[in-house]
Amino acid sequence: TGIQFMVLNSVYQLLAMRTAEHPALAKTDKLVMMADLFAYFLCGRVVSEYTLASTTQLMDMRTGQWSRAMFEGLDLPMRVMPAVVKPGTIIGSLTPRVAAEIGCERIPVVAVGTHDTASAVAAVPASPGRWAYLSSGTWSLMGVEIPQAIIDDKTFEHEFTNEGGVEGTIRLLKNIMGLWLIQECKRQWQRGGHDLSYAEIADMARKAAPFAAYIDVDDRRFLAPGDMTPRINEHLMRTGQTPITDKGQIVRVVMESLALKYRSVMERIEDVVGHRVDVLHIVGGGIQNELLCQFTANALGKKVITGPIEATAAGNILMQARAVGQIGSLEELRAIVRNSFELKEYTPQDAAAWTKHYKKHTP
């Protein structure tokens, strides 16, 4: 399928229902993803929008259609899958009832890039050139925009995913840990009576010693909610490092390790696409952590441009404008984003020290 193996992919939920002989599956006429369900409520038409459908692991990303081999191989009912529509398609108009209820005309209902990262990548304010994106929040998604899926031994080995994008593009990306570790540390400290703001936490990390330790932020033991600092210290002890008690030091280690993970993924992206990436665009709520943004520039040795925070909402709105002819192209859409939001640029610092730490801890 060209999609990264992840436990949250829809294929496993559907297979579990079939294996358990769940009665709902036998009664199902159409399987509708959540975003498409809202479109159905608005206009009455059942469709499966391409970018969201692509993440189910039930699609052949070479064709952009449901994979008959997957459905037949797993004995799943392909009849329940709606027709796939591309983002930017006008799929109908508001039903008379909905239009009357909200007091407007029967305006068009547009299938946008309904996967949130698809809309976020649409709103990356990039100029033409060799750029990559990082959608930063609780989780991180790093990748490049390419014209067609790359499904080969390298992408399989690196656990990359080929997800659908807007305007006929593919989002070749890797799912990475994000700010989840820091969020869980903050909640743990709050439960213990230390209610620290993110600004305070970042300031504590800024003052902590650099390169005190390293963790693999993608270790599966970090995925579950709950007390995070004991798990971080268990990881440190397992890897022959010294446990940390200072809150600021813990956060700094997490941020530095996350930035180094970004470098590792970036190197693999460049290996797959066969060229160097010149600039990384970071969008999403994570850009408010300016220390992490600077660390990312340092670790990558590349220019980093951040903004907008609400890239998903911007991409959604602008694809609606594209669908009704108010915007002529994806390039024009991105120029609107560049001219509408405040962006910030970070240049690499202390490159030699970051490279030394990277080579010490990354195979």
Dist CA 327 CA 16 (whole Å): 43
Token reading at 14: 């559907």
Cα separation, 349 vs 216, whole angstroms: 23
Q: Is 116 a catalytic residue?
A: yes
Strands (E), 165-278: 170-177
Token pair belonging to 117: 């990262």
DSSP state for residue 164 in the 8-state scheme: E
The answer to whether 88 touches 49, Cβ cutoff 8 Å, is no
Buried b (16+ CB within 10 A) or exposed e, 249-259: bbbbbbbbbbb
- Alpha-carbon Rg for the chain, nearest whole angstrom, is 22
Give the active site residue among 116, 153, 216, 278: 116
In contact, 163 and 115? CB cutoff 8 Å:
yes
Return the beta strands (E) in 94-239 as ranges. Answer: 108-111, 131-136, 139-146, 161-164, 170-177
Looking only at the bridges linking them, the beta strands covering 84-85 and 48-49 are parallel
The answer to whether residues 84 and 276 touch, using CB atoms and an 8 Å cutoff, is no
Strand 65-66, strand 59-60: pairing: antiparallel
What are the residue numbers of the active site?
Answer: 116
